[in-house]
Structure 1
């Protein structure tokens, strides 16, 4: 009997210890974890080595997105001049004779071997039409993908916006992208704030492979328009008097962008019209580090001055008003902000600072400036951001759903689990718009509760 009681007492004690461990503070449990690597690919493994099968396939808008699309994809170096086929989508597997488009090719050698990157541009398409298209590899083809061209200016538009993805893309960006597509199945356009990958650590191509894997079906089911961030550049001649920023080799090859940019930043600035929105994409790294701020301001002035569209959105990686301590992008405010104010831009979408923060321009005027982050790296807000921005957030992966319909624009920021974090509407005709807060359904403010990261950094919340 005593032995039975002892066994029962031991079992009860073990159960109590397990329960106590489960109820222990999260900080204690965090101490037992190890930091996750930037990619899930072990050293020496070449998961993303190119082959005869086309991969990294992405559609992007032409300057007039109702008239055409542009496409980029990758193969190994044995594939020289693959074709793109496109036809109006139909319900029968026999969709008719497709139009064939020749591609251009450039080689890129990386840690994953030699690859050929292919670009093809298709114009003369019908607006608001669903097209089936596929790209060729070496003796093989991709699946047939569906992308709809932009509609007329007066048609409603739903678009997605993603802040920096950058780190641990397969691990932690995947879920955000999938949640975004679930919340906005009607989205036709996806904007990315830059710093899509981290780069500069010897596994750049593997990081790009992870980015495309994380985004899944998105780049082939809607048009994708990214901004270049500082991590799309690298430091040449680092720690020498000749040190300078240089655009990474992947950027001009991974996306087929309009090519109508500012002098000195032709490969990383561009604009296009999508329904009733003119979207201008700036390169903050080039403006701040390569001296092109004035040239970009002159270019932006011309882009916005001639716009017949009802709405205008500017996207740039670095914020005009930084929510992170120790950062101040004064040159953007000196040269580019006057142009944005003069032309009544409605919304400025930004990244770089790995927190969330929203504010109006000085005097409570438009545009709305929004900083957001999609990926795993999470910073801390500066005291100034807490005073001048609302709402704000730390330690939160987010995506944005933006719906434009006539004289109304609705903006929603949602968390990785789809919960509504921020929402507002811009309403009224151009020149007389007002911001209307949408508070119903929003969750409470989220701030970082950790004293330091798993690597011991107190200046970040997660990395």
Structure 2
């Protein structure tokens, strides 16, 4: 009897219309994927008593503390954050001393998924280079314990990430980039984002998916720059039209509060393990007349830098690699300050391609543009002649490492392959020099599609 079972199954399969139906089914026409995985009419990201959208951002001195923001339903008011030096034991108390408690400030926000309370706690007075365990409170509940290491003293080796625009289809297509980034930077405690985190500044589903997509980086402090998509157009198509910063940006992140006059919600600086980081708001500089104020501020920030290294993070590139884009106002105001202070790296986004420029005469500044999300544009002819390497149709992340007199940079694809690599070497009185790394790099990638799936010839992918 046992020997008949395969024959019976085979006969059943032969008689079944299922395999034939599969074989004869016509191939579906390619559709442009929605920007979120949330079906229309479905509520996926409603605020509840459980804390979510938990994110840490560095204080001005990242060695001594960080701020934490999170979201809950409106029943939660002034919750607390608990923090202790992380231990091998599950018991986070130190003998009879409970974890330190920090009371959060709370603000309300009514968004597309309902009214929420957003909380932020400033955790200061910490020890440098120390791993802390912490959690945040909700309604009769807590978040899981998380761990975050404060910045170590200058001179300690550092590993961190730089992520270009995520913007579109975060849950669907950016998540894999974040997982791959963690694989290649397992010791990173800091992640820089070059703006356009989401596509619509006030779309709460998009923000929910961005926090989901960046979940693999939960052990890192985040330092994002604002992009133009963190703003929305008020009074659109009228003489009063203007750009306005979305409330989600202001509620989701707690920055040091040391930014330029008039743009303190979108500019800031901090010191992290021997590097001074300055974050600029390119949108306000280009569209809201904030360029002169940021220029004066950036000059002061860089003039007071006690460290050997400096990095500027901005969304819009000073030299755009995408066709038909020109950011002349940035070059006229902010660029002379960057050049005069010999900033080491200028990390940028906005143009949805890859390009590196600078290092003339083998010295900084070096300007890079990258993209992590699936929206992919096309390179300009000028970029092909003035930048190297360049790339299209490629999701990327960047791993940077500072070790002594060497600041190294790697751009890797979503599958982990090395796309670009170089190092800046500090020779002391002789200044810094750029050292190329060609080994193991793949060739430049160009778009082979005549147009994106939606039909646009100026894009390689939607």
Superposed pair shares fold, TM > 0.5: yes
Q: CA deviation at 1:259?
A: 1.0
Is 1:149 the counterpart of 2:147 in the alignment? no
Is 1:69 the counterpart of 2:101 in the alignment? no
Aligned to 1:86: 83
Is 1:223 the counterpart of 2:229 in the alignment? no
1:143-182 paired onto structure 2 within 5 Å = 143-182=144-183
Aligned to 2:210: 211
How far, CA to CA, are the matches of 1:136 and 1:146 in structure 2?
16
Aligned to 1:193: 194
Preserved contact between residue 362 and residue 433 of structure 2 (Cα < 8 Å)? no
Aligned to 1:392: 390
Q: CA deviation at 1:361?
A: 5.9
What is the TM-score when the length of structure 2 is the normalising length?
Answer: 0.92
Q: CA deviation at 1:364?
A: 6.0
Q: CA deviation at 1:229?
A: 0.3
How far, CA to CA, are the matches of 2:368 and 2:322 in structure 1?
13
Aligned to 1:456: 455
Preserved contact between residue 56 and residue 66 of structure 2 (Cα < 8 Å)? yes
How far, CA to CA, are the matches of 1:410 and 1:339 in structure 2?
23
Q: CA deviation at 1:428?
A: 2.0
Q: CA deviation at 1:39?
A: 0.3
How far, CA to CA, are the matches of 1:92 and 1:293 in structure 2?
51
How far, CA to CA, are the matches of 1:398 and 1:392 in structure 2?
12
Gaps of 5+ in 1: 1-14, 22-27
What SS does the corresponding residue of 1:58 show, helix, strand or coil?
A: strand
How far, CA to CA, are the matches of 1:216 and 1:292 in structure 2?
33
- Higher alpha-carbon deviation: 355-364 or 409-418: 355-364
Aligned to 2:417: 419
Preserved contact between residue 424 and residue 433 of structure 2 (Cα < 8 Å)? yes
Aligned to 1:446: 445
What is the TM-score when the length of structure 1 is the normalising length?
Answer: 0.92
Q: CA deviation at 1:365?
A: 4.3
Q: Deviations over 1:325-383 (max 9, x none)?
A: 11110111101111011111000000000000001066664211000000010000000
Pick one of 354, 357, 370 that aligns with 2:355: 357
What SS does the corresponding residue of 2:364 show, helix, strand or coil?
A: strand
Aligned to 1:56: 53
Q: Deviations over 1:142-198 (max 9, x none)?
A: 001000000001101100010000000000000000000011100010000000000
Give me the CA root mean square deviation: 1.7
What SS does the corresponding residue of 2:365 show, helix, strand or coil?
A: strand
Is 1:184 the counterpart of 2:182 in the alignment? no
Q: Deviations over 1:189-214 (max 9, x none)?
A: 000000000005xx711000000001
What SS does the corresponding residue of 2:60 show, helix, strand or coil?
A: coil
Change (3 A) 1:361 1:296: farther
Is 1:307 the counterpart of 2:305 in the alignment? yes
What SS does the corresponding residue of 2:259 show, helix, strand or coil?
A: coil
How far, CA to CA, are the matches of 2:409 and 2:112 in structure 1?
40
Preserved contact between residue 182 and residue 216 of structure 2 (Cα < 8 Å)? no
Preserved contact between residue 417 and residue 441 of structure 2 (Cα < 8 Å)? yes
Pick one of 379, 382, 395 that aligns with 2:380: 382
Pick one of 285, 289, 292 that aligns with 1:291: 289
Q: CA deviation at 1:432?
A: 1.1
Q: CA deviation at 1:429?
A: 3.4
How far, CA to CA, are the matches of 1:429 and 1:272 in structure 2?
25
Preserved contact between residue 179 and residue 216 of structure 2 (Cα < 8 Å)? no
Is 1:275 the counterpart of 2:273 in the alignment? yes
Q: CA deviation at 1:94?
A: 1.4
Q: CA deviation at 1:93?
A: 1.5
Q: Deviations over 1:94-131 (max 9, x none)?
A: 12110000101111111100000000001100000000
Aligned to 1:125: 126
How far, CA to CA, are the matches of 1:99 and 1:167 in structure 2?
39
Aligned to 1:6: none
Preserved contact between residue 46 and residue 113 of structure 2 (Cα < 8 Å)? yes
How far, CA to CA, are the matches of 2:221 and 2:302 in structure 1?
22
What SS does the corresponding residue of 1:366 show, helix, strand or coil?
A: coil
How far, CA to CA, are the matches of 2:288 and 2:363 in structure 1?
30
How far, CA to CA, are the matches of 2:276 and 2:169 in structure 1?
32
What SS does the corresponding residue of 1:422 show, helix, strand or coil?
A: strand
How far, CA to CA, are the matches of 2:46 and 2:100 in structure 1?
30
Aligned to 1:7: none
Change (3 A) 1:361 1:233: farther
Q: CA deviation at 1:264?
A: 1.3
- Higher alpha-carbon deviation: 248-257 or 414-423: 248-257
How far, CA to CA, are the matches of 1:276 and 1:363 in structure 2?
25
